[in-house]
Each structure stands twice: as C-alpha cells, then as structure tokens.
Chains A and B, each alone.
Chain A
C-alpha cells in the first residue's frame, strides 16, 4: 500500500480567472483525482496560504489551531452544500418574492477520535446545535490493523445525514472502519459525507473503491505516502499539533 511517490507534485499559478497571469503566484496545488465521489476545494491563493501556515513546522500551536479552523469552516460550508434542499418561496422585507430553498433532513457529526474532534468547533460554527457522535479507532499493536475501541452515536443516526470528521486521510484504515460502523447502524452509504483536510491519493482511492457512494470533501490531495504511511508532504501529526505539542 505504501508507495514513495516519484511523480512531481503539481504546481501551477493560483488565482481567480479574472486575475492576469502575471499577478498569480506559483505554488504546489492539490493532486487532481478522477474519482467521482471525491470533491477537492477550489485551490484559491487564500486556501494555499492557509495550508502553508499549518504545514510549516515553525507555526506555533495557537496559529495552527486558528488556521486549521479557518480551513475546516470552508470544508464544512462545502460539505453542507451536498445536503438536500427543498424549494421554499418567501416574501422579502421589501415585499418581493424570493424563490429560495429550505434545508431538509436532520444531520449529525461523527468525529473519529482524537484528531477528528478538532473539527467539531468548525462544524458548530456553521451548525449551532448539531449532535456529535464519537468513534475511537486505534491501531492494534499485534495485528497493526485498526481496531474499534469505542463508539457513542445518536440513537436515530440511521435517519440522519452524517458528517464524518477526520483531518488526515492516509491509507484510510480508520475512516473506512468508521464507515463500516455507521453502515452497521443503518446509515445509508450515500448519506455519509467525509470531511477531511489533507488526503493521500491512496486513501482517496481506497475510499472510492470500498464506498463509492460516500462523498469525500477534502481541502487538498497530497503527493503520496512515505514508508511509514505518513502523508507526504503532510503536516505532521495533526492531533499532536492541535492538542498537545
């Protein structure tokens, strides 16, 4: 599964269409993927700058938390766009009709402990009173396979859309297991949205193969994995940098 990526990371001028090429600085952007269920955020200069901050080993904890949260909010906003809406026309304060939409369906968050919990604040910033379930998955020392240790999920999770939270998608071992847990509680595969900051092409591919109906929303797909299955270039251990370092 691990593969030291020999291919060159994609590099391009970043900036909106209307900006002349000379005003677009060059930077490494997300690797493009052609899995239909993987949605990568628009590679705007601002997003690249935010990712640059959190990848930098010299960025302190306070800044790391702040800039991560800014990206997470963008992820949540994009993720919520995949939820269904129904038409809803209202009369505006100036007496005009506006054919708008109403959000439909109940949602909940499920964070994969512990790094996924770092995304809860960003989720709550957009959905105030959202219910949040938790899943603890750790690598078994003997088998080196992921093992489910704990889960606490809303009773009626089968009737909800689930936003599954984990910032780093390397091989996808724990995330795939988390989807299995959700499915075993009756959540339909196409009601699961996986929100993720940085993914590896391998992890995204594993997801597309196992659960083609789960939508993956990610800010950036990196070059690959190293021998220890860490994402390259990645940003180190997200949980450590967010919680303890």
Chain B
C-alpha cells in the first residue's frame, strides 16, 4: 500500500506492506532507529511513539493504522521546544544510563508534560508505568520529567 501520513512534521508517502509492523517500518525501512524494540509484545514500552500526540506501542501497530495520522518518533524531539526541554532534563538529571528505554520514556514524558502542568511525582510515576527501565530505578527519570515541567512553565534551565 502507499500510505500517507505526517511523520516527524513532514508529509510523507510510504510504500509498504499494510501489515508491516510499525516498529519495523520505522527502524528497517525508514532508518529511524531511535525507536527500540524491547519485547515485541507490548510489555516494555521501548517502542513507544506518539500518534496524534498520544503514546502508542509501535510493536503492536501495523502500517495501515498510520494512514492519515500524525506520527512523532524520538528523532523529532530536539526540533520541538518542549521535546528539547525533556531531552535536556533527561541528560542534566542523570535519567539516562544504557539509553535503551530512553526514546520511549522521553516520548511518553513529552505527552505527559503536554497534558499536565506541573504534575505531582505520583502522576509522573503513573504516566510512565508502561515504560520499563532496568538501569535507573525510575527516580532520576521522574526527577527529569518534574524539572522539565518546571522549566517549561518558568522558562528556566531544567
């Protein structure tokens, strides 16, 4: 099928099998290897992308589902003000260790900060509950999201 969607702020037309897994489409066909596959069964969140601003699991999506949708992968984060703030906060607050969960975490965090102004740590924890991390114990990821929300409100360095 020829599928048309907006991918990372660009209108694109992609020729692909309609049942192609979106994680494979992104990584193998489009070279967008920022999205990771941790399990392939929706259990880890590493493959998280934003579709119409909402976190979705690309390992449990097929290409046909992207028709007409607005898709964001981790590669676009730096090009948005709030995405860049989330990235800076992750780096500055020690929220990245091996980095495998990070793309999915950052996109989920971006959706969270767009939906909530100054969320409580419990709200952040709940929002990230579908993204597994083995390295950090989540504390510094929650620190980073908290500081990113403060930075976005006050426009100060996270």
**A and B are interacting partners:** no
Residues of B within 8 A of A (CB): none
Residues of A within 8 A of B (CB): none
